[in-house]
Structure 1
Amino acid sequence: MAVIQYIVDLGASVMLPIVIFIIGLLLRQGVGKSLRSGITIGIGFIGIGLVVDLLNQNLGPAAQSMADNFNLGLSVVDLGWPGTAPMAWASSMGLIAIPIAIAVNIIMILLRMTKVVNVDIWNIWHMAFTGAIVYVATGNFALGIVGVIVHAIIAYKLGDMFGQVTDKYFGLEGIAIPHGTSSYMGVFATPINDLLDRIPGINKINIDGEKIEQKMGPFGEPTIIGAILGFIIGLLAGYEVGQALQLAIQMAAVMVLMPMVVKLIMQGLLPISDAAKKMLDKRFSGSNFRIGLDPALLLGDSQVISASLLFVPLTIVIAALVPGNQVLPFGDLATIGFFVAMAVAIHKGNLFRTLISGSVIMFVTIWISNQMINVQTKLGQNVGLVDEGDRVSSLDQAGSPITYLLTKGLSVEMGIGFSIILVVYVFCFWYTFRKYKKQTLYVEDDQE
């Protein structure tokens, strides 16, 4: 266990390359090819880390300045996933969640309940966090284990359900994205998309990067859009023109650099992914397995990045509108693309529709994270990461409907809010699952 803890502490940029290297050897790819794949993936994650740090260091303070300028009075800071994942790993569920999640995956594969073969060990922290929060809320360790198991089952099914989307929109054939906000919040976009299809006039509105670029020429290019959004955010933050221009160039850089580093990950992954699929398909004839990976891969799409920048100021506005909310979006603003990535794909890059479904997603996320302040604060204090008297929460993972429903349900705290989220989320999940089973979750335009 000490060895596992040591590897976990090294972070995703080291953990995943080690896992990929070992898998490569098991798939008989040879030491050289396996090492090359692992290191290339590690380089890609280092690149993503640098871009995310660029966002955190520059976009984060701008967002907080915006909130201060508009006197929103939000007193509980969103720690973001960088502040939340360490809580999960440091908790009593941290290491035990890894073998549990792996066992759940193997059992589901053997029972043909999923086609996802998860190699993204790092993101098991989401499941560990659910288990840890359930344990804090109930005081029952066994119920914490139940939280890990249920979250794992749902995550792997989400990887299956959005397989059509990752194949056709993102071009990630044979890849599944089972973890994190991208998948579990993506289910909201499906019924919203079909509802918008039925509204005359609204169903004709289609705003995406390609059309903007066609109509606006160079001014519609992703880099220039990123620069314009960065400049506007800077002005809303009260920055001087010079500072706003600096933020503009930094956001333009994000638009260019993120797809480049994601390509590196894909270069390292593809040989391993192909070998794994061939071996598994040979052992389990016709199963078409998918390799489960980090949702960071979805940030390689320019539409996702554009939506992410649009939602920085919008999420702060939403936070001010959520009744009784105390949570100031901060730590997760830099990676808000994770929350809306699947919605972008479900809407086929239509930013107009993404603004609608994304607003619903962020409203629900913020409302839930506000209800989870006390339990996340207690968890943070239990593991020594939150000082006495401080209050914290996070959009990812404390804003997850899965974590919220398991926590409140297993602790028998079922008020009106719980009932509303339960009904809405179960309906959206069922609706999305039904379309997945009918193979209509993502239909190409020429087939519609």
Structure 2
Amino acid sequence: MSIIQTILDLGASVMMPLIILIIGLIVGMKPIKALRAGLTVGVGFIGINLITGTMGTYMTPIIEGLQKNWHMTLDTYDMGWPVSSGIAFSNGSLVVAMFIILIAINILMLIFKATDTLNVDLWNFWHFIMGGALVYALTGNFVMGCIAGGLYGGTVLFLADKHADKIKDFLGYPGVTITTQSFPLMLYICMGIDWLLDRIPGINKIHFSLTKLNPKISFLGEPLFLGFILGFILTLIGGLGWEAALAAGAGMAAVMFILPRMVKILMEGLSPLSNAAQSFMSKKFPGRKVNIGMDLAVLLGDKEIITMAMVMVPITLLLAVVLPGNKLLPFTDLPALTYFMAAPVIAAKRNSFRSLFIGIIVIIGMLYIATDLAPLFTSVGQSSGLVEAGTKSVSALSGGGELIAWIIVKITSIF
């Protein structure tokens, strides 16, 4: 267990190169090429983490300013995904059992053709483990927790196949799909909402993108200018003054300019593995293709996703205030809105109007799910020691994205 925990503590930027190297060797890549692919993916992840960390540095004061100005007094604290992942990895027995179960499920589903996705994103197994931990906390039954986590992971693998073509069209890279959290199900829901919007007269005629403006002002849609403008305006709305606004504008311009390049580096490392895996599968199983299941981070280089995430920051806080029954005070996970806005933007085909509409519906759902899961999150967090005893209520906005886990929890609670 100590070896596994040590590897997990290294994070995705170290885990992923190791996984890419091992799988690359298995599918027939030369050692140097497999190592180069793994290291390139690691560099990409480090770059993405650095840039999203920079985004958090500038967004945190803005969020605090908005909360102060709007006198927000909600009583469930947003502990964020870093604490959530720590809680998921805190139960050693569950972690070991879930890793074995999830890898076995993936292999069996590939053998029996229930999926064509090979999930190499082992770091994000923590989402499935968290689902198992919630059911374990609810029932007190370890086996039920393992079944729940396995069901969560298996469902994601099944659904990830179905949207692989959608991801290929969006990214421009074949053979890659997304297996993070409940993203596959979330994408289908967003596509369903987009389908409904297509059938509403008037609404279906609105086509607008913040990143594709009138030719005379098209420069405002460039990542540099758009990042600066959004960072500047959001800081002023947060009441932080001109100096902070200029600094935030420059910082967000850097985020929008550099992040796509970091994702491109990551994909440069992933493409050789995808090609080698396809070649391996065609030799072993003629006519069959395999998709590489990856972290949602590979989508974050899209400027429409980054733009809509920034626009959604004040909207998310406003929704938290006005929604009846919501108890979550969004904070720690707000800089991670880039992850949550990926499905709306993909479903809306980069139409900013539809992305915003769908994104609002998604965030409303996430706030209510996070509120509903708060008692379980608090219980599991206190048991792990990562949430202090006596803490009234904690949850995570990202916990609202655990849609499949929430469904499993609600079904389990009936029995």
User: Offset at 1:145?
Assistant: 0.9
- 1:214–1:220: 8 Å Cα contact kept in structure 2? no
- Aligned equivalents of 1:215 and 1:375: distance in 2? 53
Structure 1 residues 214 and 160, CA, compared in 2 at 3 Å: closer, same or farther? Answer: farther
Structure 1 residues 389 and 240, CA, compared in 2 at 3 Å: closer, same or farther? Answer: same
- Aligned equivalents of 1:95 and 1:74: distance in 2? 36
- Aligned equivalents of 1:308 and 1:134: distance in 2? 31
Which one is further off, 13-22 or 214-223? Answer: 214-223
Counterpart in 2 of 1:155?
156
How many residues are aligned here?
Answer: 413
- Aligned equivalents of 1:20 and 1:399: distance in 2? 27
Q: Secondary structure at the match of 2:77?
A: strand
- Aligned equivalents of 2:145 and 2:235: distance in 1? 43
Which one is further off, 297-306 or 156-165? Answer: 156-165
User: Offset at 1:193?
Assistant: 0.8
- Aligned equivalents of 1:407 and 1:40: distance in 2? 38
Q: Secondary structure at the match of 2:390?
A: coil
Counterpart in 2 of 1:58?
58
The one-letter amino acid paired with 2:94 is: M
User: Offset at 1:302?
Assistant: 1.0
Counterpart in 1 of 2:139?
138
Candidates 407, 411, 414, aligned match of 1:412: 414
- 2:128–2:181: 8 Å Cα contact kept in structure 1? no
User: Offset at 1:389?
Assistant: 1.8
| Equivalent residue runs for 1:89-168 within 5 Å | 89-91=89-91, 92-168=93-169
Q: Secondary structure at the match of 2:95?
A: coil
1:20-57 Cα distance to aligned partner (Å, 9 max, x none):
11112222322211211111111111111111211222
| Equivalent residue runs for 1:9-408 within 5 Å | 9-91=9-91, 92-212=93-213, 214=215, 216-390=217-391, 391-408=393-410
Structure 2 alignment gaps of length 5 or more: none
Structure 1 residues 322 and 271, CA, compared in 2 at 3 Å: closer, same or farther? Answer: same
- 2:368–2:400: 8 Å Cα contact kept in structure 1? no
- Aligned equivalents of 2:401 and 2:118: distance in 1? 26
User: Offset at 1:213?
Assistant: 5.8
The normalised TM-score by structure 2 is 0.96
Counterpart in 2 of 1:444?
none
The one-letter amino acid paired with 1:122 is: W
- Aligned equivalents of 2:182 and 2:225: distance in 1? 28
Structure 1 residues 307 and 210, CA, compared in 2 at 3 Å: closer, same or farther? Answer: closer
Structure 1 alignment gaps of length 5 or more: 414-448
The one-letter amino acid paired with 2:160 is: G
- Aligned equivalents of 1:83 and 1:289: distance in 2? 33
User: Offset at 1:182?
Assistant: 3.4
- Aligned equivalents of 2:331 and 2:87: distance in 1? 17
Structure 1 residues 65 and 210, CA, compared in 2 at 3 Å: closer, same or farther? Answer: closer
- 2:20–2:34: 8 Å Cα contact kept in structure 1? yes
User: Offset at 1:249?
Assistant: 1.1
Q: Secondary structure at the match of 1:155?
A: helix
- 1:227–1:250: 8 Å Cα contact kept in structure 2? yes
Which one is further off, 130-139 or 323-332? Answer: 323-332
- 1:209–1:349: 8 Å Cα contact kept in structure 2? no
Instruction: Report the RMSD for the aligned CA atoms in angstroms.
Output: 1.5
- 1:135–1:141: 8 Å Cα contact kept in structure 2? yes
Q: Secondary structure at the match of 2:89?
A: helix
The one-letter amino acid paired with 2:242 is: V
User: Offset at 1:100?
Assistant: 1.0
Structure 1 residues 53 and 210, CA, compared in 2 at 3 Å: closer, same or farther? Answer: closer
The one-letter amino acid paired with 2:310 is: L
- 2:181–2:401: 8 Å Cα contact kept in structure 1? no
Structure 1 residues 135 and 215, CA, compared in 2 at 3 Å: closer, same or farther? Answer: farther
- Aligned equivalents of 1:343 and 1:322: distance in 2? 20
The normalised TM-score by structure 1 is 0.89
Q: Secondary structure at the match of 1:372?
A: helix
- 2:87–2:380: 8 Å Cα contact kept in structure 1? yes
Q: Secondary structure at the match of 2:118?
A: strand
- Aligned equivalents of 2:291 and 2:145: distance in 1? 28
- 1:305–1:337: 8 Å Cα contact kept in structure 2? yes
Counterpart in 2 of 1:427?
none
- Aligned equivalents of 1:407 and 1:302: distance in 2? 35
- 2:28–2:280: 8 Å Cα contact kept in structure 1? no
Identity %: 38
- 2:121–2:179: 8 Å Cα contact kept in structure 1? no
The one-letter amino acid paired with 1:397 is: G
The one-letter amino acid paired with 1:160 is: D
User: Offset at 1:172?
Assistant: 2.5
- Aligned equivalents of 1:285 and 1:71: distance in 2? 62
Q: Secondary structure at the match of 1:173?
A: coil
- Aligned equivalents of 2:343 and 2:52: distance in 1? 19
User: Offset at 1:210?
Assistant: 4.9
1:196-221 Cα distance to aligned partner (Å, 9 max, x none):
11112211111124531635221221
